[in-house]
Amino acid sequence: EVQLVESGGGLVKPGGSLRLSCAASGFTFSSYSMNWVRQAPGKGLEWVSSISISSTYIYYADSVKGRFTISRDNAKNSLYLQMNSLRAEDTAVYYCARDSGDLEWLCDSWGQGMLVTVSS
Amino acid sequence: SYVLTQPPSVSVAPGKTARITCGGNNIGNKSVHWYQQKPGQAPVLVIYYDSDRPSGIPERFSGSNSGNTATLTISRVEAGDEADYYCQVWDSSSDHVVFGGGTKLTVL
């Protein structure tokens, strides 16, 4: 069974930093691209970032480019999102989501999400 | 940037057919994926590549895509289908994943 478990969320002040992690199990992590998708309270889904299986290709939404960094460690079956210069509008539940292959651009499995709150 | 437009809400009586649209410029030339999200839960993929169903998704869920509109169709709607539904594409022009704004399906 595919399992994706996010961690590292919480309350952070504007301008601060946070690192989200996603632990993957139940599948060959190194064979799938991975994504971060977020959802602000009461709002819709917003794509944040994607990374290919070997980290060769990395993509970011305009709203986070230059502030967020996606990375992965295939040896540890883990996905990360380093978030710097956080703003109030980054407050959201952040989902780790598996691609159906290598950059197939659809999310076939999702974690339960991790809340990040940016507030003073 | 590429924009996907969904109606904010759709209402349907139990046993009837619900159709949720997703509009985009020449969306028929893109692959469209649909997700279902129930309150407090993570999204679930219900249709991929316009009309394919993942294992475990009922045959009542189907999809189509042509011209400027993609459609998610839910036949014989049940109370348990009440949820938010999102369409999604990959926009190769911007190298961005794009989600529609979401449609809240209400079962009357």
A100 neighbourhood in chain B, CB within 8 Å: 48
Residue A102: its pLDDT value, please? 87
Q: Which A residues, 64 through 103, put their C-beta within 8 Å of a C-beta on chain B?
A: 95, 97, 100
The pLDDT of residue B8 is above 90: yes
Task: Give the span between the Cα atoms of B18 and A109, in whole angstroms.
Answer: 25
Contacts of A49 (CB under 8 A, 6+ apart): A35, A36, A58, A59, A60, A61, A64, A68, A70, A81
Short-list B86, B88, B71, B80, CA closest to B2: B88
Both tokens of residue B27? 């969306």
Residue A110: its pLDDT value, please? 98
Contact criterion met (CB < 8 Å) for B99 and A47: yes
Among A22, A37, A38, A45, most B C-beta atoms within 10 A, so best to mutate, is A45
Residue written as token pair 């993929």? B45
Nearest-by-CA chain A residue for B90? A105
Residue B83: its pLDDT value, please? 98
B48 neighbourhood in chain A, CB within 8 Å: 100, 106, 108
How many residues appear in chain A?
Answer: 120
B11-51 residue pLDDT tens: 999 999 999 999 999 999 999 999 999 999 999 999 999 99
Residue A103: its pLDDT value, please? 86
Determine the straight-line distance between the first and last CA of chain A, rounded to whole angstroms: 39
Residue A23 touches chain B, beta carbons under 8 Å: no
The pLDDT of residue A104 is above 90: no
HEC-encoded secondary structure of chain B? CCCCECCCEEEECCCCCEEEEEECCCHHHCCCEEEEECCCCCCEEEEECCCECCCCCCCCEEEEEECCEEEEEECCCCHHHCEEEEEEEEECCCCEEEECCCEEEEEC
CA angle in degrees (0–180, nearest 5) for A58-A59-A64 = 125
